[in-house]
């Protein structure tokens, strides 16, 4: 039976501005982008965008409603940029939009800012906005989405990583395949983080999506670098649909790092929140995998850390139950 008493925190909860989406929809790149989203939705959420079907509105009130329904205490709300769809003319949502959305829920929703595309807009602008949002608007995490920008180990990013260290804010970074067009996958391969963390050993990085399909490479890097954290964001939906895939990934990760270094995230439609959270609440390592693969049994302490304690510590928030 799932333990619903644990504190639960989810990063990468995307809120979208319907007006901005409408303004970007006439660009030819939008249709190509939307069609490519279908692939990852099929794997992670088991649904096809082409087939239609209702999804919760990507707004704060809907997020809160599903948090209450599924016993999730806090979420980190995030904008969606995708400026390359319009050739850099506009984006899907802004940090200001997110701040307005989360304002009515100060103890439940926190800002996970995104000041990119960092290299495309100019490093000085990104540095200013990051510092402003952390110091003046209480941003607790910062997303780096390199597929629309440039390689994670581009030397021009070094001042940004230095600023993140100075501000003591963890960076949430898309790793592995870029799932949508027109963005290349070469900018976010896990191996690029090696260069970054060799030069910035105190930089806290939360690597999203377990670096799929280069998951083992990311896990090995986490064994090497003490401040590299593994996030189940998005891919947790796939694990909920294909449990043994998750058992192997989590089991192997725990052979390389302690259970202090794995965190939970969403990056799914809000109505998939329950499946994602319950997968960890009920997580048990099958005895056959313990015997044949050497995976450790999953303790309640491990579940508690993955569900929310680890992420709360990185973001500097208290772990009082909200629901």
Task: Write the pLDDT tens digit of every residue in 195-217.
Answer: 999 999 999 999 999 999 999 99
d(CA 322, CA 74): 8
* CB atoms near residue 237 (< 10 Å): 26
d(CA 216, CA 212): 9
Question: Residue 51: is its pLDDT beyond 70?
Answer: no
Q: Are 106 and 98 contacting, i.e. CB atoms less than 8 angstroms apart?
A: no
Mean per-residue pLDDT over the chain, rounded = 96
Q: Hey, is 203 helix, strand or coil? A: coil
pLDDT band, residue 179 (cuts 50/70/90): very high
Task: Write the pLDDT tens digit of every residue in 211-255.
Answer: 999 999 999 999 999 999 999 999 999 999 999 999 999 999 999
The rounded percent of the chain whose pLDDT value lies above 90 is: 96
pLDDT value at position 17?
A: 94
Choose the CATH number for 9-315 among 3.20.20.140, 3.40.50.1000, 3.40.50.2000, 3.30.43.10: 3.20.20.140
Element (H, E) at 129: helix 123-137
Which pTM value belongs to this model? 0.97
Query: Does residue 299 have a cis bond before it (omega within 30 degrees)?
Result: no
Over the Cα atoms of the chain, what is R_g?
18
Q: Give the residue-averaged pLDDT of 40-55.
A: 85
Question: Residue 1: is its pLDDT beyond 90?
Answer: no
Task: Write the pLDDT tens digit of every residue in 259-308.
Answer: 999 999 999 999 999 999 999 999 999 999 999 999 999 999 999 999 99
pLDDT value at position 49?
A: 81
Question: Residue 52: is its pLDDT beyond 70?
Answer: no
pLDDT value at position 3?
A: 79
Q: Are 222 and 260 contacting, i.e. CB atoms less than 8 angstroms apart?
A: no
User: 5 φ, ψ to 5°?
Assistant: -85, -15
d(CA 240, CA 237): 5
Among 132, 77, 85, CA closest to 101: 77
Task: Write the pLDDT tens digit of every residue in 55-86.
Answer: 999 999 999 999 999 999 999 999 999 999 99
Task: Write the pLDDT tens digit of every residue in 147-163.
Answer: 999 999 999 999 999 99
Q: Give the residue-averaged pLDDT of 127-144.
A: 98
d(CA 282, CA 270): 20
Q: Is residue 142 classed exposed, middle or buried when 0-12, 13-18 and 19+ CB atoms within 10 A define those classes? A: buried
- Among the listed ranges 52-56, 73-77, 92-96, which one has the minimum average pLDDT value? 52-56
């Amino acid at each position: 039976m799932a333990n619903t008493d644990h504190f639960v925190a989810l990063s990468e909860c995307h809120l979208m501005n319907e007006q901005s989406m409408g303004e970007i929809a006439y660009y030819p790149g939008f249709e190509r982008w939307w069609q490519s989203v279908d692939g990852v939705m099929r794997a992670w959420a088991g649904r096809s965008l082409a087939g239609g079907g209702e999804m919760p509105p990507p707004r704060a009130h809907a997020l809160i409603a599903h948090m209450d329904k599924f016993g999730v205490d806090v979420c980190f709300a995030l904008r969606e940029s995708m400026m390359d769809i319009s050739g850099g003319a506009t984006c899907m949502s802004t940090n200001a939009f997110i701040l307005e959305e989360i304002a009515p829920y100060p103890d439940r929703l926190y800002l996970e800012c995104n000041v990119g595309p960092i290299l495309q807009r100019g490093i000085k602008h990104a540095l200013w906005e990051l510092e402003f949002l952390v110091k003046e608007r209480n941003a607790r995490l910062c997303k780096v989405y390199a597929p629309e920008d440039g390689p994670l180990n581009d030397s021009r990013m070094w001042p940004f990583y230095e600023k993140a260290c100075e501000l003591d804010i963890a960076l949430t970074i898309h790793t592995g395949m870029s799932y949508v067009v027109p963005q290349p996958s070469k900018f976010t391969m896990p191996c690029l983080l090696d260069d970054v963390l060799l030069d910035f050993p105190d930089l806290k990085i939360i690597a999203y999506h377990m670096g799929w399909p280069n998951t083992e490479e990311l896990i090995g890097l986490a064994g090497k670098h003490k401040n590299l954290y593994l996030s189940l964001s998005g891919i947790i939906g796939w694990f909920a649909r294909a449990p043994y895939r998750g058992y192997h990934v989590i089991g192997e990760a725990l052979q390389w790092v302690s259970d202090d270094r794995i965190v939970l995230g969403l990056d799914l439609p809000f109505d998939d929140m329950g499946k994602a959270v319950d997968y960890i609440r009920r997580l048990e390592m099958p005895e056959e995998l313990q015997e044949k693969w050497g995976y450790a049994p999953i303790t309640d302490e491990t579940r508690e850390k993955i569900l929310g304690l680890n992420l709360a510590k990185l973001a500097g928030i208290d772990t009082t139950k909200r629901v």
